[in-house]
């Protein structure tokens, strides 16, 4: 991965993901923290995070959920600051 500086917002997003536990954070939670989809997509494109799509049951309904997790490269980038 080429060495690029992280913006303050990218660092904040990675820090949020780093403390979200092994299941990561949903896109809805990240949005509530002010992170838009393009910022998350940029982290994914750089290999700093991954996105998975899951279907979960909420009551009697199935709900599609987008989960974002930090990668080892993301942890390394966060630690290099």
* Residue 5 binned pLDDT confidence (cut-offs 50, 70, 90): confident
CA dist., res. 43 & res. 28, Å (int):
16
φ, ψ of residue 25 in degrees (nearest 5): -130, 150
pLDDT confidence of residue 3:
56
What is the Cα–Cα distance from 28 to 40, expressed in whole angstroms? Answer: 12
How many CB atoms sit inside 10 A of residue 35's CB?
Answer: 21
CA distance 57 to 26: 15
- Domain-by-domain residue ranges, the chain? 8-79
Q: What is the pLDDT of residue 1?
A: 45
Task: Write the class of the CATH domain 8-79.
Answer: mainly alpha
Q: 0.75 exceeded by the pTM? A: yes
- pLDDT, tens digit, for every residue of 17-52? 999 999 999 999 999 999 999 999 999 999 999 999
Q: Which residues contact residue 22 at a Cβ distance below 8 angstroms, ignoring those fewer than 6 apart?
A: 69
Higher pLDDT among residues 48 and 3, named by residue: 48
């Amino acid at each position: 991965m080429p060495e690029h500086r992280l913006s303050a917002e990218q660092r904040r997003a990675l820090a949020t993901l780093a403390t979200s536990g092994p299941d990561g954070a949903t896109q809805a939670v990240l949005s509530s923290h002010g992170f838009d989809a393009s910022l998350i997509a940029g982290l994914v494109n750089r290999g700093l995070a991954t996105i998975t799509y899951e279907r979960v049951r909420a009551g009697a309904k199935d709900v599609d959920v987008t989960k974002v997790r930090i990668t080892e490269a993301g942890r390394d980038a966060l630690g290099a600051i």
